[in-house]
Chains A and B, each alone.
Chain A
């Protein structure tokens, strides 16, 4: 087991009138190479949970083990955990401070002691992987870039650590449709080509459907569902109970099923959704609907 979260509970401001329990006895495991989406409504503990995955928060109860190392370690071992589990925060461009894109992307590996040619190679690789032109952009100020480019620089600045897991907290928030499609495509490639384990935090059903195979749903600090995307997206009732609003296309699929229309070929709502999506994107007619 690559990442193991075991009976983790966490309370903010414990023992004060402001105490908020963010996580309550959460357990799950992620295998190497998986792509998992963590879903849930705002304030359900998603962000708290992902900060546990690389030891930024230490569980008050229970434990988190990354590749055999308990995150309660300190010093070099903890830094190694943070390297292995690259965490991209929400609005990661807010963390930028360097004068050039190169220095921004090189910041994390430099902190890990990487220098010289190896450093340059890593920066080049990380920028190329997220679809940024290394030679054209490396000397630009990160603050001159467009929103989508800034987001990708921020993600590259984590990838340059060569993490084994990439954890992204709402990576597409605030991006325009092109930026979103581009970013999701790059994440998919990262997984397929480079074998990265991806953990995606989102409440955007479209993003989840594109990237993840497994869904972990949190509600009020507890895990209420852990299973395949297909299974989760088949049950509209459960999705809504968990505070997840189906995307318009998925809603259409649910509606057709509710109204008793048979879809040919007979498909589960999620497959119907994928089918429509692929065909429409390819400019073809989707499957026929029989009244």
Chain B
């Protein structure tokens, strides 16, 4: 019911070159890729970036379906962007009164839609090929130089790991409680807005109660295993850059630089 079609954050456990990359290099490339996506100004740059994403997705053996699925919750936003650009770009042809339709606006809107879509695709590749645990490990790895200045990198990563770990559990719990209340005659699916909000009380109260109980249990379990933060902690899986990571980083950087520079070269 819930959580059955949330694809963001749903790792597809396959064994591919992309899956095996160090999470730090993937995170770095995604971060730079996002910056690049916002800097580029021409269609030809998008072509480069899209091709790069396509190659990654193909190597990772991800089917196109997953990307469509992850774009689905955004389609209203994308459509709205496009519509707003079509109607509110100043140099349009006047339809009637104040309403104008602009072809330029359409092109501009499409540009932004493609930018947003690529943004989603890039981050989806990351989350589909990297397990949440690897992701937080990678984040901790990238942030750990900041520890020198007292930045709690480990604690932050641990908090994220725990949060990610409990999302499916809480969704399952919510599903169960919702069903239990439906068995007691609650109707979550119809009625006015006020009725639906009122219907959430029997769902949220038990959910909070159980979340707090879980948090308490987890805290006790961690304490009884002598957890006391990141100081002096070693890890089971030490992250190490492999040759393929350097290859990946180099190819990604060159793609980004190329896609930024290509408009000048072509001109």
Contacts and interface: CB of A to CB of B under 8 A. Distances in A.
B217 interface: no
A48 to B, nearest CB: 11
A83 B205 CA distance: 23
Interface string A91-107: 01011110000000001
B185 A108 contact: yes
Contacts of B56: none
B187 interface: yes
Contacts of A92: 180
Interface residues of B, number: 21
Contacts of B12: 17
Interface in A243-286: none
B185 A56 contact: no
Nearest to B213: A94
Given A94-B206, A107-B202, A82 B185 contact: yes
A82 B176 CA distance: 16
Interface in A138-192: 143, 157-158, 161
A288 to B, nearest CB: 49
B193 interface: no
A86 interface: yes
Contacts of B181: 95
Given A17-B12, A95-B180, A97-B201, A111 B210 contact: no
A22 B180 CA distance: 20
Given A13-B4, A17-B12, A89-B176, A97 B183 contact: no
Contacts of A35: none
A97 B4 contact: no
Interface of B: 4, 12, 173, 176-177, 179-187, 190, 201-202, 205-206, 209-210
Interface of A: 13, 17, 51, 54, 56, 75, 79, 82-83, 86-87, 89, 92, 94-97, 107-109, 111-112, 143, 157-158, 161
Given A51-B179, A97-B202, A111-B184, 18 more contacts: A54-B183, A79-B185, A79-B187, A83-B185, A86-B183, A87-B180, A89-B179, A89-B180, A92-B180, A94-B209, A95-B181, A95-B202, A97-B205, A97-B209, A111-B186, A143-B209, A157-B184, A158-B184
